[in-house]
Structure formats: C-alpha cells, structure tokens
Amino acid sequence: RLELIPPVPLPRRLNRALLAVPSRLGASVSAAGAVLDRVRAEAVVGFGGYVAMPAYVAAKRRQIPIVIHEANAHPGVANRVAARMTTHVFTASAAVHLQHAIPIGIPLRPAIANLDRQALRAEARERFGLGPDGPVLLVTGGSQGARMINWAVSQAADALRAAGVQVLHIIGPQNVLDVPQVPGAAPYVVLPYVDDMQYAYAAADVVLCRSGAMTCAELAAVGLPAVYVPLPLRGGEQRLNAEPIVAAGGGLIVDNDDLSPTWIAEQLVPRITDHDQLAAMSRAAAHAGSRDADVVLAKHVLNVIAEYRRFAGGDHGTSARRQQ
C-alpha cells in the first residue's frame, strides 16, 4: 500500500530552504518511522532520492536492515549516506563507486527482461507499419523527446532511405516533426510516444538515443546496439552510464554537439547496414547487460529479512533488532 511522508529536497545553494532542512528532515524521519512501526517493517529497500533519506534514518534508528540500489553512475546524497549504514549495497555496474557495492544491473519490467526480440520481430514491425526485411533504426529522446536528436535524424532521412534503412522515430508528446513519406522508399514512421517499448525494441536493429540509466540498462539487457547521445548536463552522468556498454563493444557515444545529419550518413548508416558488425555489437551489448537484477535483488532482500527474524526472535518492537 502507499504511505506518504513529507518530502525534504536538498537545495543545492545556501539559502533559507537549506537552513530549514534539519528541522524538516526530523519531521519526515518521524513520519517515516511511524510508518515502519505501523507496518512492522522487517527491511527498508531504497533506490535513492530525497524521499529515501528519511526512511533510511528511521530504519537505522530502529535497527531495521537497509538494502539500497543505485542505478546512476553518480550516486546521490541519500545513497552515499545509506551506504555507510549498511553492507547491503547494489549498483547498476561496477563503475558505480559506493561502499560495499555489488554490481547486479538495474531491475527491469518483465516485458523487457523477458523480451525475445527475434520471436516478436515480425509482429512488432507490422504493428508500426514497418517492412519485415531490412534494417530498422529506432530513434528516441526519452519520454519528452530530444530536439537535437529529432532534427539531426529527420534531416538525414534521405540518406537513410537511400541505404534502405527504415526509421521508427519517437519524437516525444510535446514535439512536432514533419517527415514526408516517399512512395516505394523505406518507411520513416513518426510517433509522439510508445507505451509498450518492448515492441519498439523488437522491431529495431539499432537505437539512437539519450543515455539515461534505465535506457542503457534496457538496451543492453535485450542486446540492442545503440548510438548514445548523452544529455550534456548533470556533470556528464549520462556519458558515464553508457561507457561500460561502449567499452564492451555494444554501442557508440557521440556528443550532442557532434550529432548531425552528416554524422548519421557517414558514421551510422555504414554500421546499420553491416549485418556482421550489428550482430557482433548485439552480442557485446547483451554481455554487458543484465536481465535478472530484479530476481537477484529480491532474493537478497528475502535473505536479509530471514536473517533479521533470526536475530529479532520474532519481537519487532524490542532492542533485539540488529542491523544486518
């Protein structure tokens, strides 16, 4: 069930809001603690963010075991603090630096984790109006789209068509893109949004996209080669998300300012039309990814709870609780 506690964002500048954080955090910790007591919690599993910090602190005070997972290359404050409270720390990759960290990947939706791209390929292509044969480039800038990506790929439409490359372009619900269809040429399908991304992944041979943590995890898990265009903000975090996959051979990184119609025509088209190179990149991406992080994490949480019960002796309201 859903329980709400007062959020305590951490301002990044010295101002009145920052000075008020200690008192606001105290109230939020009390609220989180009341929830833990009411539901007789036996573990707290956190994924970071300012909503996690009160729960971590409340759990620590009650000696309830804490399990954390960090999906991003740069851990946030909450998970950096929590990693000092527990030894149960899991990360998206070995490149994430936290105390006691064990890399397991990122838990994914079953529709993605269990995706058989080859088995769904024909259905997926028919669903989007794509031909059954020939390479497909999937383009997405995330849920809100990316104007730079939209412009660069749409302006390369003629070069893509000339090479027989079909395009499935998810532009974002707030964006508009007019790419005229050419009779007899490879389709260029423009959609504002796709709810069931497993079909888009099954239809595609290569993806051109941003490199958020979840995007990187999903593409690697299903073995999709990608051209990652990191968002040039937040200290280069998106680049760090993609680097392990690229180092394994499962993709490329191109800077936002370097992405252009010319780059797509000269660098991407030769790769997407090279079947052997695509197959090698697909295998490398799959090797860098993980499909079972959800199961690994869930099993560990259950083990932590079992250990907690042995130490607590079934009494969840006494000092017998111990931090695992």
CATH number for the domain spanning 274: value is: 3.40.50.2000
Q: Is residue 317 part of a domain?
A: no
Closest listed residue to residue 86, CA positions, set 319, 307, 294: 307
Task: Specify the DSSP class assigned to residue 170.
Answer: E
Position 233 scores a pLDDT of 75
Residue 10 lies inside a defined structural domain of this protein: no
Q: Give yes or no: residues 215 and 260 share one domain.
A: yes
In a domain, 266, yes or no: yes
Classify residue 50: in a domain, yes or no.
yes
Residue 11 located in a structural domain: no
Answer whether residue 4 is part of any domain: no
Higher per-residue confidence, 321 vs 271: 271
Residues in the chain: 324
Q: How many domains does the chain have?
A: 2
The string of pLDDT tens digits covering residues 241-257 is: 999 999 999 999 999 99
Co-location of 143 and 284 in the same domain: yes
Range of lowest pLDDT (65-74, 174-183, 194-203):
174-183
For residues 150 and 204, membership in a common domain is answered with yes
Q: Are residues 181 and 51 in the same domain?
A: no
Residues 167 and 69 in one domain: no
Q: Are residues 172 and 261 in the same domain?
A: yes
Residue 220 belongs to some domain of the structure: yes
Same domain as 152, residue 97? no
Same domain, 58 and 114: no
Retrieve residue 166's tokens: 């079909």
Q: Are residues 117 and 262 in the same domain?
A: yes
Of the pLDDT bands very low, low, confident and very high (cuts 50, 70, 90), residue 64 is very high
Give yes or no for a contact between 181 and 187, defined as CB atoms under 8 angstroms apart. yes
Same domain, 142 and 254: yes
CB half-sphere exposure, 245, CA atoms < 13 A: 37
Residues 40 and 183 in one domain: no
Q: Indicate the pTM of the whole model.
A: 0.88
In a domain, 145, yes or no: yes
> Which has more confidence, 235 or 66?
66
| Cβ-proximal residues to 187 (8 Å cutoff; 6+ apart), any chain | 129, 130, 131, 166, 167, 181
Are 215 and 133 contained in the same domain? yes
Residues of the domain holding 161: 110-288
Tell me the C-alpha distance between 287 and 249, whole Å: 9
Instruction: Summarize pLDDT for 83-125 with one digit per residue, the tens.
Output: 999 999 999 999 898 999 999 999 999 999 999 999 999 999 9
